[in-house]
């Protein structure tokens, strides 16, 4: 069936990508030739080449000159950009694995922040923690969500690791695009933080700030993991 002429390359990428991720096109299979794909999808060969380039960048296919494209195992070759699509397709266990991977990476991030903390970085972290506390006291739900995210981005920056900063950013992209499209989880975070604030207890963000300030890597790990997994410590 021909694809409507709206973002033809994007629509074609999505169609082939989802077929690969769902297993409809198996690992090791060869895709049809450029000419055959163009006929099947109702788009020209120039656009097909754009599609194949995008699929290659996602780690979904292997392209070799003069040969048909071969489907790769996305688990071994794919990028984090695939996560929202795996969630949308309902791939079994993906939600749990995202939480686990995020907890592990965030543990490492907060530990590095405690290890590499700088006077300037700690001042930024203090401002981020104070902004969140103010939002919990007097702000709107959106104020709290923004301040919470800014805090975590500030922690990642304090770790002085660009890759970890991008992982935190990628988690939020997946979170918004697929894990929490209706906003229920964000609302639950707001409710939890408001409840902690109403009991005049320190927010976990404040406790994490103090652990990082003290250079206590182990305590920072414990608090960071609990924040991601929603466990009490």
pLDDT at 174: 74
* For the chain, domain boundaries: 8-78, 84-229
pLDDT at 65: 85
The residue to which tokens 């090791």 are assigned: 28
pLDDT at 142: 93
pLDDT at 4: 52
Q: What is the pLDDT along the chain (233 residues), one digit of tens a residue?
A: 455 545 788 999 999 999 999 999 999 999 999 999 999 998 999 999 999 999 999 999 999 888 899 999 999 999 888 988 888 888 888 878 888 888 888 999 999 999 999 999 999 999 999 999 999 999 999 999 999 999 999 999 999 999 888 888 877 877 777 667 777 888 899 999 999 999 989 999 999 999 999 999 999 999 999 988 875 54
pLDDT at 233: 46
pLDDT at 169: 85
pLDDT at 231: 57
The CATH class of 84-229 is: mainly alpha
> Would you tell me how many other CB atoms lie within 10 Å of the CB of residue 1?
7
Are the C-beta atoms of 124 and 113 separated by less than 8 Å? no
Contacts 24+ apart (CB under 8 A), 114-118: 114/211, 114/212, 114/214, 114/215, 114/216, 114/217, 114/220, 115/215, 115/217, 116/158, 116/159, 116/160, 117/158, 117/212, 117/213, 117/215, 118/158
Please determine whether the domains at 8-78 and 84-229 fall in the same fold group of CATH: no
- CATH code assigned to 8-78: 1.10.10.10
pLDDT at 208: 97
pLDDT at 168: 85
């Amino acid at each position: 069936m021909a694809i409507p002429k709206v973002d033809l390359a994007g629509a074609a990428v999505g169609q082939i990508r989802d077929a690969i991720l769902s297993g409809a096109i198996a690992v090791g299979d060869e895709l049809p030739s450029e000419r055959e794909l163009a006929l099947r999808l109702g788009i020209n060969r120039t656009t097909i080449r754009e599609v194949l380039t995008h699929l290659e960048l996602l780690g979904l296919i292997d392209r070799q000159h003069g040969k048909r494209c071969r489907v790769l195992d996305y688990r071994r070759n794919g990028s984090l950009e695939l996560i929202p699509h795996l969630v949308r397709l309902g791939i079994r266990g993906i939600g749990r694995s995202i939480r686990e991977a995020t907890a592990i990476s965030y543990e490492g991030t907060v530990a590095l922040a405690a290890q590499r903390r700088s006077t300037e970085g700690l001042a930024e972290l203090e401002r981020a923690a104070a902004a969140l506390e103010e939002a919990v006291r007097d702000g709107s739900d959106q104020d709290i969500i923004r301040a919470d995210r800014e805090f975590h981005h500030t922690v990642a920056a304090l770790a002085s690791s660009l890759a970890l900063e991008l992982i935190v950013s990628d988690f939020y992209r997946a979170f918004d695009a697929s894990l929490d499209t209706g906003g229920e989880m964000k609302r639950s975070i707001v409710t939890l933080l408001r409840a902690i604030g109403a009991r005049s207890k320190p927010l976990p963000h404040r406790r994490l700030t103090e652990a990082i300030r003290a250079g206590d890597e182990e305590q920072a790990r414990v608090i960071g993991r609990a924040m991601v997994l929603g466990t009490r410590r």
